[in-house]
Amino acid sequence: MILNNSYEKLRNHYKPDNVEVLFVGESRPQGGTFFYQGDSALYRETKKAFDEFFREDVFTLNRFKNWNCWLYDICEDPVNGLGNHERKKEIHFNMPRLVDIIETLNAKAIIVCKKTFVESEIRNSRIMDNYCEGESIFFLPFPGQGNQIKFREGLVKSLGEISFCLN
C-alpha cells in the first residue's frame, strides 16, 4: 500500500513549473490505481483522447507534464467507496483548497474529469468568475460506467478549444 505522501510525491514529480491546463479529478481510486502510476481508468482514457487528438501514439506522463498539464484531485483520500452523502460532504469540504490551488496556478484552462457531485460545487464557487464554460473550463463525465466514449469525445473537443496551450 502506497502512503498518501507517496501519491502526492509522484503527483508533484509530474507537476510542470507553469500549469496551463489543470485537470481536476475527484480523488484517486480506492483500489490503489493512480493516474500518475499510469494504471487508472482516467489515465487510459486520457491517453486515448490525447493520442486521438494528435493522431498518433504520443501520450506519456512526461509529455503531459511538458504540455503544462497537471491533474489535481479535490480530495486527497479516495472517496469512491463512500456513500453519496459522505462523498458530497468530502468534496464540499475540500473545495476551498481547490479554489486556492486554481487561484495560485492561474491556469489558462480547466478540464473537470468528474461531473457528478463536482460540477455543481465548481459552478457554485468563485472559480467560475474567471473561467467560461466551453472556452476555458470543460466539464466531462468520469470515464467509467459506460462513459468512456463521452469522456474521450469531450476531451478531444476540449483539447481542440485549448490547443494554443499545448505547445
Note down pLDDT in tens along the chain; length 167 residues.
445 688 999 999 999 999 999 999 999 998 889 999 999 999 999 999 999 999 999 999 999 999 999 999 999 999 988 999 999 999 999 999 999 999 999 999 999 999 888 999 999 999 999 999 999 999 999 998 899 999 999 999 999 999 877 76
Q: Which amino acid is at 92?
A: H
How far lies 90's CA from each of 6, 102, 131, 161, in Å? 21, 18, 24, 31
Asked if residues 118 and 65 have their Cβ atoms less than 8 Å apart, the reply is no
DSSP-H helix ranges across the chain = 4-13, 41-54, 61-66, 84-105, 118-123, 148-161
Note the pTM of the prediction, 2 decimals: 0.94
Neighbours of 6 (CB within 10 A): 11
How far lies 37's CA from each of 6, 30, 31, in Å? 11, 14, 13
Cell readout for 144 is: 467509467
Q: How many Å apart are CA 51 and CA 14, to the nearest integer?
A: 19
Question: 125 forms bridges with which residues in the sheet?
Answer: none
Domains of the chain plus CATH, in order, are: 4-165 (3.40.470.10)
Q: Write down the number of H helices and E strands in the chain.
A: 6, 4
User: Backbone phi, then psi, for 109, in 5-degree steps?
Assistant: -145, 150
